[in-house]
Every structure is written in C-alpha cells, then in structure tokens.
Amino acid sequence: MRFENKSVIITGGGGKIGKAYAMAFAQEGAKVSLPDAASADLVVKAIKDMGGTAISMNCDVSNEKSVKTMVDETVKQFGTIDVLINNAAYFMTVWKGPFWEMTVEEFDKAMAVNVRGSWLCAKAAVPYMQKQKKGKIINISSNVALTGNPNYIHYVTSKGALIAMTRAMARELGDYNICVNTVSPGFVVTEGRQVDPAYEKVRAQQRSIKRSQVETDLVGTVLFLSSPASDFMTGQLLNVDGGFHFV
C-alpha cells in the first residue's frame, strides 16, 4: 500500500485511461479525486464498491475558477494534495484535418484544455504541496509529440508544450521538494475503442514489443513517478510506448 491515505487528483478521471490510474491508486490505499468535464461517477462507484475512497466533480480544467473550486474541494475532503496527474485532454473529439484548414477556435481549444489546463491545475495544487514540502506532479503528454503525427497540429503541439512546461515547473518547484515529470504514452487502444486494424498492426510492428498498447501499460510508470522511489527524478520524460521512440 504505497499510497495509504494519500490525496491524489487525476484530471479526466472519468475516461478510460484516467480510470486505470484511479483504480490502481485506490488499490494502493489512495483517496482519489476525479474531476472531469464529463462525469467520473462510474469510476467513483467502481472504487467505492471495492472499499476505496473516491470523489468526482464536474470541472473544466481550462477555467481557473472551476479548477480552483475543484482543488479546494479536494483539500476540504482529503486534507491536502499529494499527487496531481494532469491527464485531462481535449483529444477524443478533436477536429482532424491539415493545419492550414484548422480554425483558430479549434486550435485554441486544444491549447486551453491541454496546456493551460495542466498549468492551472498545477497552479492551484502547488500551494498545498509547498505547505507540506513535498509533492508529485505528472503531466501526461503523448508520443505524437515525438512523431509529429499529421492532421491534428493543435493536439500534437499541446502535447509537446507539456514536455517543456514540465521542465520549467521542475526547476521552479525543486526547492519545495516537488517533482514534476512527463509520461508520454504511445497509441493506446483503450477498452472498446474502434481502430483501423491495418493501421494498428503497423503501429505494433514499429515497436520493440510488438503488440497493442492498453491503458494498464501506463499505470506502473505513473505510480512509480508518484511514489518515493522516484524522489530524485524530476523534469524527465518517461516514454511508455513498447519501445517505439527512444528519447
């Protein structure tokens, strides 16, 4: 039970990857807070059913007031914040197309949710971490930032921005003993996700470990970065993609 009574926020906790993180933290004793623009109620129920502690709340991470309310409510219920996982992202419903046809509104939405949202959550959580002189922030990037996948320039760019943001945050927070790291997942075939089988086969072939990536493949790394085992690691990019990209 590495996270007994730790307070862990997982933004986008209602999604499938968010759920995988949430279940794993809960299984190791953490109290998990699952803000989501949609609902994370089902994940909360799953955790409570197995005897764990979880709360969900509606939150728009791109909105400072909404984020602050969410963080303060988490602290009110759980006492503090030990770990923040910036997992929420504008992704599943992004508009796809060449960048020269993308509208400013669409571009701004990805940057607002994925980049500003991660910063706002960190901004709101950090005072509590500073107070206890300890904390872990994990920004979830994507290896599309390493590959430069075409046709969603806003998403790719936003995920690259997180890698740089992690580094600057790590330097700003080092004196408070707060570690900030990035996890970069490969293409995850979440439960029930419809993917083109031919393309998925190509992706598997590009990996050292030639199989589809699933959400639970990420859990170990996220928990490691949240645990004392990684206390001297900060500002780093941990790429979990079955050995496709080497950074």
Partner 1 sequence: MRFQDKSVIITGGGGKIGKAYALGFAKEGAKVALPDIASADPVAKAIRDMGGTAISMACDVADEKSVKSMVDEVAKQFGGVDVLVNNAAYFMNVKKSPFWEMEVDEFDKAMAVNVRGSWLCAKASFPYMKKQGKGKIINISSGTALNGGQNYIHYVTSKGALIAMTRAMAREVGDYNICVNTVCPGFVVTEGRQVDPAFSANRVANRALKRVQVENDLVGTVLFLASPESDFMTGQLLNVDGGAHFVG
**How many other C-beta atoms are found inside a 10 Å radius of the C-beta of residue 94?**
18
Question: Minimal distance in Å, beta carbon 137 to partner 1?
Answer: 12
Question: Minimal distance in Å, beta carbon 12 to partner 1?
Answer: 20
By CB under 8 A, residue 175 contacts partner 1: yes
By CB under 8 A, residue 235 contacts partner 1: yes
To which H or E segment does residue 85 belong? strand 83-86
* Rg (alpha carbons) of the chain, rounded to whole number: 17
Residue 69 and residue 132: Cα distance in Å, rounded?
A: 20
The pair of structure tokens assigned to 88 is 């929420």
CA 183 centroid distance within chain: 8
Question: Is 155 considered catalytic here?
Answer: yes
Whether residue 104 contacts residue 129, with contact meaning beta carbons closer than 8 Å, is answered with: no
Question: Minimal distance in Å, beta carbon 164 to partner 1?
Answer: 9
Question: Minimal distance in Å, beta carbon 27 to partner 1?
Answer: 13
Please choose, out of 4-12, 51-59, 113-121, 166-174, the segment that lies near partner 1 by the rule CB under 8 A: 166-174
Residue list 198-227, contact with partner 1 (CB under 8 A): 207-210, 213, 217-221, 223-224, 227
Tell which one of 103, 127, 174, 202 touches partner 1 (CB under 8 A): 174
Residue list 35-74, contact with partner 1 (CB under 8 A): none
**Residue among 238, 204, 243 nearest 221 (CA):** 238
- Provide CB contacts within 8 A for 194, sequence distance 6+: none
The pair of structure tokens assigned to 107 is 């571009």
Please choose, out of 39-47, 97-105, 119-127, 169-177, the segment that lies near partner 1 by the rule CB under 8 A: 169-177
Length of the chain: 247
Binding positions for partner 1, rule: CB under 8 A:
146, 163, 167, 170-171, 173-175, 177, 179, 207-210, 213, 217-221, 223-224, 227-243, 246-247
